[in-house]
Amino acid sequence: MHRWVLLLLYMPLTSQAIVQESGTLTGFLMDTCLTCAYDNWQSHVAERVVRPGFNDYGPPHLDPQTNRFGGFEYIPANAGGDSTLARWRQVFTSAIRGEWNVADSLVSRYDSLWNYELVEFYDEPSARIYYIMRERLDLSYVDANGDTLPENDVIGGFRKGWGVFVFNDNARHQKVVMQMPHPEDDFVSIPVGIQMFQQLEMGILMIAGAGREVMWDSTQSSYNNARSISDPSRNGRTPFAELSRVATDEWSEPPINPFVIIQLHSYDHATHLSLPDIQVSCYLDDLTPNVPLRDLQRRKDLYHAFETFPITGITADSSIRVAINNYIGLACSPQYTYQKDDTVLTIRSVGDLWGAPDNVEAVYAHVGHHVQRHTENFIHIELDEYPDGLWMPLDWQRWIPGTPPTNWGRYANVLEFYQPFIEAMDSALTWKTEEDTLAPDSCAPIQATDVGGSCVYLRWDRPAYDTHFDTYQIFFDTVEVTLSSPHISRTTTGYSALGDQLTRGIQIEDFPAPVWRYQFALRAKDLLGWESPLSSAIGITDGQIDDLTILVEGDSLRLNWSLQTNDSLFQVWEYLIDNVDYTIIGTTSDNTYLVELSDNPVIHRYTVKRLIRR
């Protein structure tokens, strides 16, 4: 009898089938799904406010915060906590590899510890199958939503508060991950992120299960967001952060990387003024965006997927009109330029909302990430919760109408306003996967300056733009310059600047004297091996004369210096003690120059510069 009981207890851990549901994914996550175990997942997210007014949770009619509605379980930094994260890693690794029976067996095994289940979900409108890892509700939690109306109550909350994870096994953008770590105060990010995930057919959707004030380091004197423990972008000991690490480990393949995390936030309109409605960055350590955000060669990027006016009216108000440079910004140095047809606009780079310094997912993704050479694997996006082009004074009921609890339909205006952005991101991610058969743009040297000390400063005419730029290669020789000549590139010690396609000049050192013997040519190379043609070569075009002598000839000074092969023109510069700099007083093709002195004795200094050498 005891053996039979043991068998019954054991069987569910090995033979339990994956839970199956059908309906709409938006219904389960943010609205009504009558065939789901529960619906409007977002309304069950854990809430708490420990510092009133610090975070903006939106207008009162949206989702009033209820203290102690739901909870959050911290995974401690000890052997037990490490074991929990290791188990989640097993689950997520199986999921990413499509091993759903293994993933379900693992989730079932830890059911009593986690209260999570794996659901095979059939989305009826799209006929797609999603796999959802979700926490079951604890019905002891009740959210009254700030009033006494029972119809506005939400029954059931999350005790773990770790979030929901949705996998698309047959995604169009398979290795793209959508993350929303702040489901309460970044309320606009949730519907927009869900819509983008479905419309673009991304691989993974991740939404945190607790507001960031639900648990914090209360040993500190007061709350701020850096002290949050329930925020998975600050606390790496969460299943949310673990899934991000697993996805990065499994899918990230630089330099031309199929993998990218899009971490979506929304910002408080009143505390971040003069920003575009969408603030985009590659995280605060990367101000040189590459595809899919910026393509300097083909202009097939996020910004050039937009029309000049992305917004020319919405259903709620046909008069709203927003130009691209007010609709979306980019953290970029130098600022990016939008060029389409006859329109040229600067995409603003405003030093705000580039991501917190300790963003767990960004920091992990950027380990080994080269900001100049690698395509982007982490994109941080902030949406204005009340865009600048809307009605003044603020009219929240017109923008997001209704009463608590919030639901999908209330965000119709928001989704319409940000739909051009969703479509542009789809184009950018699609272009990113196109075959690149273009060589870098050609460039040619225009000036080679002898700067002394066996050094030459070489300048060229234009950047060699390329979608997947790798390096400039500078060739030099004392005979005809060919591809067999000595050369330097970004991999040469001290010349990493050649890995920046915006570089247009560099100092080359340690030439055996005399440097005038050398000719210089260059080309550019991309990560796929495509190379621009080798340019024509030039010799030293200018430089300081280092053997100038001055002789007094009555009321004049005779300047003399040595000629070198191919010298053709010199500039003579004079410095008077009362001046602030040297001024040009003449040019000559000879290696001598006569200076007539004035009657007033002053201190003179002279220098001669080689101007042209062929």
**How does pLDDT run across 554-571, given as a tens digit for each residue?**
889 999 998 876 677 888
d(CA 579, CA 572): 16
Cβ atoms of 414 and 402 within 8 Å: the answer is no
- Residue 148's pLDDT is what? 82
Q: The domain 545-613: what is its CATH number?
A: 2.60.40.10
Cβ atoms of 194 and 406 within 8 Å: the answer is no
- The domain spans of the chain are 2-432, 445-526, 545-613
- Residue 1's pLDDT is what? 33
Q: 491-541: per-residue pLDDT in tens?
A: 999 999 999 999 999 999 999 988 889 999 999 999 999 999 999 999 888
What's 445-526's CATH class? Answer: mainly beta
Total count of residues recorded for the chain: 614
d(CA 421, CA 424): 5
- Residue 41's pLDDT is what? 98
- Residue 499's pLDDT is what? 97
| Closest residue by Cα to residue 347 from 277, 247, 416, 272 | 277
d(CA 116, CA 134): 5
One fold for both 445-526 and 545-613? yes
> What backbone phi and psi angles, to 5 degrees, belong to 127?
60, 30
- Residue 345's pLDDT is what? 98
Using 70 as the pLDDT threshold, list the residues of the chain that sit under it. 1-16, 565-566, 577-581, 600-601, 612-614
- Residue 577's pLDDT is what? 65
d(CA 72, CA 376): 32
- Residue 383's pLDDT is what? 98
Residues near 104 by Cβ (< 8 Å), separated by ≥ 6? 16, 17, 18, 118
C-alpha 328 chain-centroid distance:
14
- Residue 43's pLDDT is what? 97
Residue keyed to tokens 């400039």: 472
- Residue 604's pLDDT is what? 76
DSSP assignment letter at 146: T
